[in-house]
Structure 1
Amino acid sequence: MSDTATLTPAAARRPGGTAHAAVLAGRSLRVSRRNSDALIMSLALPIMLMLIFVYFFGGAIKTSALYDSYVMYVVPGVILLCAGFGAATTATAVSEDMKGGIIDRFRSLDVGGTPVLAGHVAASTVRNLVATAVVFGVALLIGFRPAASWDGWLLAATVLVAYIVALSWLSAAIGLLARSPEAASGFTFFMSFLPYPSSAFVQVDSMPSWLHGFAEHQPITPAIESLRGLLLGQEVGNTPWIALTWAGGMLAVAVAASGALFRVRTR
């Protein structure tokens, strides 16, 4: 039996949606291995952007005296950028499932929409954590030197995972909203674009004044500032809690929207 239909009747009868989600997460990971182009792109593009900004533009970009070099400033932003690119593939995967008819088979096995989507999100989280580890390893090779305490590492990881999960659920909702995988891929461009008008690559003060309000108050900026401060051992104040509040809000909206959209699409 192919990996697109590995949920057996025995698995479907397991109690609770958690078991269904675990089985479907494994199925999504197996399908991901076949989509090597998307995996390579979601990993290679953030690394290429990091190298371009550090070696092509880093010498011309001025940052605060808090940072010894531009690589120390830019890496946290690239990590969030990597999470956005990786989460965006969830939208395409969900849209392909809706278009391919596999959802009807799952429903015949009495599997609800939440486990199906949770399986995609769990697989996306695993993929993103692996990609983040690779990007972080490259960052260490080119001179990034974190100085976080154990508490800082733990809180930074919490912020990162929270955003990966929130962005993945948001991508799942987009995949349900789109009528084709191509459209889903196009919609997620806007989500992947968010790190650019933020403090990811340059300080907000260097942007035009009309852009300051959006750049300072959009959801990606506090996450980047939290990761940067925590990884470098700097004072972060309440920024991580603002970032987690944004992530929780996005997650709540995305879960509610994806549930409603799934019911509409499967009537």
Structure 2
Amino acid sequence: MSTATGTGTGEAQDLAPVSADSLAALLVATERPRRPSALAASLTFGWRAVLKIKHVPEQLFDVTAFPIMMVLMYTYLFGGALAGSPREYIQYLLPGILVMSVVMITMYTGVSVNTDIEKGVFDRFRTLPIWRPAVMVGYLLGDALRYTIASVVMLAVGLIMGFRPDGGFPGVLAGVALLLVFSFAFSWIWTMFGLLLRTEKSVMGVSMMVIFPLTFLSDIFVKPETMPGWLQAFVNNNPVTHVASAVRGLMEGDWPTDEVLWSLGWAAVLVAVFGPVTMRLYNRK
């Protein structure tokens, strides 16, 4: 017993030869680290979201397999009935189904937020001396990469199936950029639900109840002129309709000013309304 105790004491003395003065010098910093800027903090949390995709690549299933399935299914199911042939229908459908797919996968932002809350990660974030919205903005920046991947996958499949945008590369690029801006703003709704609801299943359930009417009651599949008058009133004022029409027009080589402005206006309203609500919930959570 005495031998073991003596050995342990000797090892402790060898491993920790620290005097009181040297320990005080280590604990008392001479210069306080500079607080990171809002942009730096947001990009850091955005990189964290990208790393989560790297370590769990299964998260990319919804931005690869799901868009491909959507394009193939709707084109070959409805193409002959609605436009005479799938090749003709995909010219109208692809921009709309692109909007639909990206808007639908925005709900996973709320799921990620809710999962981190359940794991206690947010408690650590709240203690950091950073710009408070940086955590939420980081989620959205990371998801913007997923939206971009989904857009590239769907456009590649569409080109193979015969989609030919008259607007060329500039029109496609402008359409995707507008969609990313709207999706970034739309995702603030799900961050709010991710903070407000208690389980990720609840977040997904509520998200689907909101997304399905907005996407299916729009001009994604057919033109509003073919719908009953009472339904046209909702469809024509649906934000998804404005975005789909704007993206379709840009890819066709036009510049639908009204639809672009409506899309940007809806994006601004979504951020102005749900951004402060989300941050209030985050500060009180």
TM-score class normalised by the smaller sequence: 0.7 to 0.9
Match of 2:253 in 1: 233
- SS in structure 2 at match of 1:61: helix
Q: Does residue 137 of structure 2 align to residue 83 of structure 1?
A: no
Q: What does 1:110-125 correspond to in 2, within 5 Å?
A: 110-125=129-144
Q: Using a 3 Å threshold, how does the CA distance of structure 1 residues 107 and 264 change in structure 2: closer, same or farther?
A: closer
Match of 2:7 in 1: none
Letter in 1 for 2:41: H
Identity of aligned residues (%): 29
**Which of 212, 216, 226 in structure 1 is aligned with 2:236?**
216
**Which of 74, 82, 94 in structure 2 is aligned with 1:53?**
74
Contact conserved, 1:88 with 1:171, CA < 8 A, in 2? yes
Contact conserved, 2:224 with 2:235, CA < 8 A, in 1? yes
Which moved further from structure 2: 228-237 or 214-223? 228-237
Aligned residues: 251
Q: Does residue 275 of structure 2 align to residue 249 of structure 1?
A: no
- TM-score normalized by structure 1? 0.86
Which one has a bigger Cα radius of gyration?
Answer: 2
Match of 1:179 in 2: 198
Q: Does residue 144 of structure 2 align to residue 134 of structure 1?
A: no
Letter in 1 for 2:125: F
- SS in structure 2 at match of 1:195: helix
In 2: Cα distance, 1:88 partner to 1:68 partner: 31
Letter in 1 for 2:275: V
Segments of 4+ moved more than 3 angstroms: 33-38, 149-155
**TM-fit CA distance, 1:90:** 0.5
Contact conserved, 1:121 with 1:168, CA < 8 A, in 2? yes
Q: Does residue 34 of structure 2 align to residue 16 of structure 1?
A: no
Contact conserved, 1:88 with 1:168, CA < 8 A, in 2? yes
Match of 1:159 in 2: 178
In 2: Cα distance, 1:235 partner to 1:53 partner: 27
Which moved further from structure 2: 255-264 or 27-36? 27-36
Letter in 1 for 2:244: I
CA RMSD of aligned residues (A): 2.2
**TM-fit CA distance, 1:150:** 6.7
In 2: Cα distance, 1:38 partner to 1:191 partner: 22
- TM-score normalized by structure 2? 0.81
In 1: Cα distance, 2:34 partner to 2:123 partner: 17
Which moved further from structure 2: 16-25 or 217-226? 16-25
Q: Using a 3 Å threshold, how does the CA distance of structure 1 residues 191 and 137 change in structure 2: closer, same or farther?
A: farther
